Every structure is written in structure tokens, then in C-alpha cells.
Amino acid sequence: MPRNAFHKRASALEDEFFHQVDQKLIERLRERHDREVDEDALTIATGIADRHVLDELLDVQITSRTLMAFSLFPAIYVAWADGHVETAEREAVLRSAKHLGVIPESDAYELLKLWLSTKPSTELFLAWVDYVRALRPALSVRGFRELHEGVIKRAQRVARAAGGFIGFHKVSKAEQATIDELHAVFADANADDSSSARMALRGH
């Protein structure tokens, strides 16, 4: 995928994710967006510590703002799997987020609180899917796998935290179905990329 098309998908994801965010928070995010994205920021956003994978992300000029939208959305999507987020469930999700390194009062934490009170739209999900598909050709197999595993691990922890507040530490059927749906998005992106590669080889 051409680089300009890739960044177009990133912009679409950002627009959908941030359009309901408080203006002051948007300004803080823009200031951070204007600064150079370093490996520490990417590690916090993705949970990835592998230096080679982080270098890949920097090479394709993924911003911390895009990664925040990309990595937080699946956890939010899972939290809403049952159609609503109870107060106790919301607190459990925020506790889980803190354990994952999302610092209270940080931009990511404020966004998470917002989205736990505002159900994500279908358009946001579709923008996230498009971005995953656009991201696959830009990364190595290893890099894409690391992103996939990090995103799903966070979503699973959120689901377990949500189940934990009633004492069972189990993932509900609706939450598991949502996690499976997220897995499928990554799997489809891999399949699409493999298919494109085979077509390219046939053309030579």
C-alpha cells in the first residue's frame, strides 16, 4: 500500500477516535503529536519492548496519537461487549489499565474514561479495521505479530478484570466473541497480505 494511503487510514482512525474528545485534551494530544515519538512512548502505547519492532514502528512514522487510538480501541470495544459498562465494571477496567501502565490523569487514561461512558460507533470499528489492514504491509511478520499479541493481551486483561468484579475472573461469552472478532481482523489482514504477495510473485 502506498505511504500516502497508509497515512490516510491513520488519519481516518484518529478522526473517528478523537472527534468527541474535549478540546483541551485534543490540544494536549496535538502538542505531544508535534514532538518526536520515542521508543518509550511506543512501549507505553503498545506494550511492546522489542527494540527491532519499535524501530519498525518509528520507520513507518506511526505517531503516538495514532497508536493511542489503535491500542486503546480493542480494550474499549471488549468492555462494551455486553452492550453497557456498569460502574463496578468501569472501575475494574481502569484498575486493569493502571496495571498495564496507563497512568491516571494521563491522556490515555482520560481517553479511556471517556470511551467507557461513550459507546464506540460502528464507524470507529470500521476505521480501526481499515487501519489494521493498512498496517500489515508496512511491517514485518514479526512486527505485526507483536502488535497483534499486545493488543489482544490488553483486551483479554480488560475482559478478565470486568468479570473479576463479580468474583469469578471469567470472560463472558459476549466478551470472548468480541475478542475472537478482533483476532479475526488481524488474521484477515495477514491473509490479504499473503494473497497480495502471491499475486505479485505470479506477475514476475
203 in any annotated domain: no
Establish if 198 belongs to a structural domain: no
Question: Model confidence at 50, in pLDDT bands (50, 70, 90)?
Answer: confident
Q: What band does 167 get if pLDDT is binned at 50, 70 and 90? A: very low
The verdict on residue 200 lying in a domain is: no
Q: What is residue 121's three-state secondary structure?
A: coil
In this prediction, residue 34 has a pLDDT band, given cuts at 50, 70 and 90, of very low
In a domain, 124, yes or no: yes
Q: Is residue 202 a part of any domain in this protein?
A: no
pLDDT the model gives residue 185? 95
What phi-psi label fits residue 169: left (phi over 0), alpha (psi between -120 and 50 degrees) or beta? left
Secondary structure of 11-35 as H, E, C letters: HHHHHHHHCCCCHHHHHHHHHHHHC
**60-114: per-residue pLDDT in tens?**
777 767 877 887 888 889 889 888 887 877 887 787 777 666 778 777 787 788 8
In a domain, 201, yes or no: no
pTM of the model: 0.78
Tens of pLDDT, residues 154-165: 788 777 776 654
pLDDT band for position 32 (cuts 50, 70, 90)? low
Q: Rounded to an integer, what distance in angstroms lies between the CA atom of residue 106 and that of residue 30?
A: 14
**Domain carrying residue 107:** 3-193
- Count: domains in the chain: 1
In a domain, 188, yes or no: yes
Residues 6+ apart with CB under 8 A from 179: 78, 152, 155, 156, 159, 171
Query: Residue 204 domain-assigned?
Result: no
**pLDDT tens by residue, 177-187:** 999 999 999 99
Alpha-carbon distance 39 to 103, whole Å? 17
